[in-house]
């Protein structure tokens, strides 16, 4: 990297820091606490329901998967470990408008990390592509958060493909204590159900799916050369062909619906976010929904 590119990245990190600090302090700090720590108890594990247990602690998503009643157990421990698992594969660099998926992921990570910091929680980072790229164990402090943002923006994996199973397996073997995991990715990958379902059984897992408008709809711009950012495969297509555009839209819509359905089946809270839209209202709704579920 040239000195000029390093300077530009540091300027972006500084701008992100200012924005994320303000949002975390003024908007999300209270919502974060009520969403993830509102009861004063930290989630510990699941176990089978026994006669006399509080029925309000039954976890219906796990119960449905196991086909027998399971309840959530808690412990008197206020500190929460938050892990940000960020996809830095080739497709994360794509953005057809103002920001790329990687840049939006960095903003989301900064906001969540500073919110956790304001509530006294430790934050860790996993960067992954076809395999884990970098792992920073949970820690506190602004310097730690700034390093995470910088690492997200500058990551350049050798193998640029995406493997969600590899990320999940790493987290399952590395994170021993029950943690809150935010997985930030476009989830354009195969074999999602089993690894994500297993991860969600052990850790409180939230999926933040980032897509670009052109992921779902081809523009009518004539003949263009397309390159897969993860494999390098190239092809030439005529986007004036209405059947081609319609087929592409149907295929991507079917994939998106399948991913959303899988999240629901596995009991994973999720958001579908776009690079050209404001993600703040969506995060507000997610936090408020989790607050209501914790109180019910």
* Per-residue pLDDT tens over the stretch 8-65: 777 777 877 887 788 777 767 667 766 775 445 556 788 888 877 778 788 888 889 8
| Structure confidence at residue 109 (pLDDT) | 93
**pLDDT score for 41:** 58
pLDDT for res 187 = 96
Looking at residue 292, what is its pLDDT?
74
Residue 209's pLDDT is: 97
pLDDT along the chain (296 residues), means of 10: 65 79 72 60 76 80 88 68 96 88 92 86 96 96 91 93 96 92 94 94 95 91 90 91 93 93 94 92 85 66
Q: List, in order, residues 6 or more apart from 146 with CB less than 8 Å away.
A: 13, 17
Domains of the chain: 3-40+78-295 (3.40.50.410)
């Amino acid at each position: 990297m040239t000195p000029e590119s390093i300077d530009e990245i540091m300027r972006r990190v500084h701008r992100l820091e200012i924005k994320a600090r303000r949002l975390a302090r003024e908007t999300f700090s209270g919502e974060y606490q009520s969403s993830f720590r509102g009861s004063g108890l930290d989630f510990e594990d699941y176990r089978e329901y026994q006669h006399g247990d509080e029925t309000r602690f039954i976890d219906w998503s796990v119960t449905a998967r196991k086909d027998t009643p399971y309840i959530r157990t808690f412990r008197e421990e206020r500190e929460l470990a938050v892990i940000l698992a960020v996809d830095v594969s080739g497709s994360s660099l794509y953005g057809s408008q103002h920001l790329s998926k990687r840049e939006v992921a960095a903003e989301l990570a900064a906001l969540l990390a500073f919110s956790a910091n304001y509530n006294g929680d430790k934050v860790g980072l996993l960067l992954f592509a076809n395999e884990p790229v970098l792992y920073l164990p949970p820690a506190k402090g602004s310097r730690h958060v700034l390093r995470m943002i910088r690492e997200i923006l500058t990551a350049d994996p050798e193998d640029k493909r995406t493997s969600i199973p590899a990320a999940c397996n790493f987290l399952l073997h590395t994170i021993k204590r029950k943690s809150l995991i935010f997985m930030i990715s476009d989830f354009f990958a195969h074999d999602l159900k089993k690894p994500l379902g297993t991860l969600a059984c052990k850790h409180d897992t939230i999926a933040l799916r980032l897509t670009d408008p052109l992921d779902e709809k081809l523009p009518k711009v004539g003949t263009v050369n397309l390159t897969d950012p993860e494999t390098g495969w190239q092809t030439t297509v005529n986007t004036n062909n209405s059947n081609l555009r319609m087929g592409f839209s149907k295929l991507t819509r079917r994939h998106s619906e399948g991913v959303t359905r899988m999240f629901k089946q596995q009991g994973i809270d999720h958001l579908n976010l776009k690079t050209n839209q404001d993600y703040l209202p969506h995060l507000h709704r997610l936090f408020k929904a989790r607050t209501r579920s914790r109180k019910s």
